[in-house]
Amino acid sequence: MSAANVQALPTSARDAARLAQRFGVPCHEIAIHPFPDGEIRVTAGRAAPTTILYASLDRPNEKLIALLFAAEALRRGGTKRIVLLAPYLCYMRQDTAFHEGEAISQRVIGPLLARYVDRIITVDAHLHRTPDIKTVFPGIVSDNLSAMPAIADALRRAGLDPATIVVGPDAESLPWVSDLAGRLGLAHAVAQKVRRGDRAVEIEFPEPARLAGRPALIVDDIVSSGGTIIACARALAVAGATTVDAVVTHALFPEDLCRDMAAAGIRSIRSTHSVPHSTNAIVLDDLFADALKGELNHMENSR
């Protein structure tokens, strides 16, 4: 038995294999067999004392069940420590109830995962009113990494017009917009957003003159329905931005929405590899390797 390994749900297998290869440890793809009635059979790879369980939890419902089943099999097989590496972590946004009878998903998922794993690592978790992810997962270590260093490195290598202004679509985006702009030495601006529903938003800029005649780069943590980023692109065009590009951490939107984004004036959209998508252009391997340094040092010593 190897002292450590990486195991991955099928949709994360490619990225997991790259991380495992980097540290010279085995990587196993967890097998999921569906039954006609909708239940699944989950088969993990050979257990190791330490396992990095790589599972991005977009479209999460079946994945969550598979993840818990895999953790059970690994523990029973001899795994002593499980680190869940979930580049996208589901059900974090609902941290309060807005209507009577509404479930608070964060309060369910946090303790549930904490029962099965010893540490959780994620990226730009969608936390609205939760200031510290550690409060979500009682009794275990949890890390909410920022994708901005990886995004900044990728944009720097690609090259940017020094006149580019980094734009956030709403006040919530200010922390990562200012972070990225600071890393790149660029100006930044944040729009005001009024949401009219799940897919209807209005965007305006308090100082539109700052945007006129400049390339704009929209930065957001998550794009799902696409309504906000499309409205932001249209507002930038009205303000006189010369070009509009976009970069996001988590690309949750349907592939065919790329056409609507292009029609709204978005010249290009790049996302990190946190969620498999055709827009993936920014790998997070260095970010994960640094976060896993202690775990991976143990892996290296096991070779």
Contact (Cβ atoms closer than 8 angstroms) between residue 50 and residue 80: yes
Q: Check which CATH number belongs to the domain holding 56 and give it.
A: 3.40.50.2020
More confident position, 238 or 128: 238
With a CB cutoff of 8 Å and minimum separation 6, the contacts of 90 are 57, 58, 60, 63, 64, 109
Mean pLDDT estimate for the chain: 92
Claim to verify: residue 54 and residue 116 sit in the same structural domain:
yes
Q: Cα–chain-centroid distance for residue 99?
A: 27
Claim to verify: residue 20 and residue 64 sit in the same structural domain:
yes
Task: Return d(Cα 160, Cα 233) in angstroms, integer.
Answer: 18
Closest alpha carbon to 89 in 64, 125, 116, 61: 125
Residue 199: pLDDT band with limits 50, 70, 90: low
Note down the domain range covering 269.
Answer: 148-282
Residue 298, pLDDT > 80, answer no
Residue 1: pLDDT band with limits 50, 70, 90: low
- pLDDT value of position 164: 97
Claim to verify: residue 183 and residue 277 sit in the same structural domain:
yes
Claim to verify: residue 215 and residue 297 sit in the same structural domain:
no
Summarize pLDDT for 250-264 with one digit per residue, the tens: 999 999 999 999 999
Residue 301: pLDDT band with limits 50, 70, 90: low
The mean pLDDT value for 192-196 works out to 71
- Helix, strand, coil shares, percent, the chain, to 5: 35, 25, 35
Instruction: Lay out the sheet containing 216-223: strands in order across.
Output: 187-190, 165-168, 216-223, 244-251, 266-272, 280-282
Claim to verify: residue 94 and residue 155 sit in the same structural domain:
no
Claim to verify: residue 8 and residue 137 sit in the same structural domain:
yes
- pLDDT value of position 172: 85
Residue 209: pLDDT band with limits 50, 70, 90: very high
- Residue 138: which region, alpha, beta or left (left: phi > 0; alpha: psi -120 to 50)? beta
Claim to verify: residue 277 and residue 230 sit in the same structural domain:
yes
Claim to verify: residue 51 and residue 108 sit in the same structural domain:
yes
Claim to verify: residue 239 and residue 133 sit in the same structural domain:
no
Q: Helices marked H in the chain — which ranges?
A: 13-23, 60-77, 105-116, 148-158, 174-184, 227-239, 257-263, 285-291, 293-302
More confident position, 89 or 301: 89
Closest alpha carbon to 230 in 258, 256, 196, 209: 258
The mean pLDDT value for 30-59 works out to 96
Q: Which two tokens stand for residue 57?
A: 């939890």
What is the phi/psi pair of residue 5, to 5°? -155, 175
Residue 200, pLDDT > 70, answer no
Summarize pLDDT for 161-171 with one digit per residue, the tens: 999 999 999 88
Claim to verify: residue 179 and residue 219 sit in the same structural domain:
yes
- pLDDT value of position 297: 60
Task: Return d(Cα 258, Cα 266) in angstroms, integer.
Answer: 9
- pLDDT value of position 84: 98
Specify the number of domains making up the chain. 2
Residue 75: pLDDT band with limits 50, 70, 90: very high
Residue that has been written with the tokens 């998508």 in this structure: 277
Claim to verify: residue 264 and residue 298 sit in the same structural domain:
no
More confident position, 273 or 138: 273
CA distances from 18 to 41, 214, 255 (A): 26, 38, 24
Residue 119, pLDDT > 60, answer yes
- pLDDT value of position 3: 87
What proportion of the chain, given as a percentage, has pLDDT over 90? Answer: 78
- Region of poorest pLDDT, from 67-71, 222-226, 245-249: 222-226
Claim to verify: residue 114 and residue 202 sit in the same structural domain:
no
Task: Return d(Cα 269, Cα 163) in angstroms, integer.
Answer: 19
Amino acid at 276: P
- pLDDT value of position 265: 96
The mean pLDDT value for 235-249 works out to 96
